[in-house]
Amino acid sequence: MYIQLFGYLLAAGVLFTSAAMFALGARWQAVESAGYGGRRRPWWFIVFSLLLIALYALAVIDFIGAEKTWASWLLIVVVPLGWLLKAALVVFNPKGRQAVTSVSGDQNWRKVALARLPIAVALAALAWFA
């Protein structure tokens, strides 16, 4: 149950942030800068991160006792490895943070938003098959 919930919430999160990026365009820059650009993360970034980690922990516990499918392996093992890669390249790397926070203009943010939509679909499909 938690594995699917984890996958669906990830898909919803990607879909929501993509919709926000598309709607806000260049104004999304302020959100990105707050989350990734500063030395200190805002409270909402920390709260959402802790909630995501807690849900992931529940999903891992569920995964350990559940019958494993290829989709659950991808959600519980491969997706978090992607997060680690993103963290290394963007969150904890000043050059990576600069690259993300330097995206500007309505059209560029809308391109990023549209490019993320297949990720939401893939995560929802993984959750469905998990």
Where exactly are the structural domains of the chain?
Answer: 2-129
How far apart, in whole angstroms, are the C-alpha atoms of residue 103 and residue 32? 9
- Give the predicted TM-score (pTM) of the model: 0.83
More confident residue, 114 or 90: 114
Q: Measured in Å, how far apart are the chain's first and last C-alpha atoms?
A: 9
* Cα 22 → chain centroid: 16
Mean residue pLDDT across the chain: 88
Residues in the chain: 130
How far apart, in whole angstroms, are the C-alpha atoms of residue 126 and residue 130? 6
Q: What is the pLDDT of residues 46-72, one digit of tens each?
A: 898 899 999 999 999 999 998 999 999
Whether the per-residue pLDDT at 78 is higher than 90: the answer is yes
Tokens at residue 7, please? 């996958």
User: Do 1 and 124 meet the contact criterion of CB atoms below 8 Å apart?
Assistant: no
Tell me, what's the pLDDT at 55? 94
Q: What CA dihedral angle connects 83, 124, 29 and 20, to 10 degrees?
A: -160
Using CA atoms, how far residue 119 sits from 16, 33, 47, 67, 114, in Å, is 12, 22, 23, 25, 10
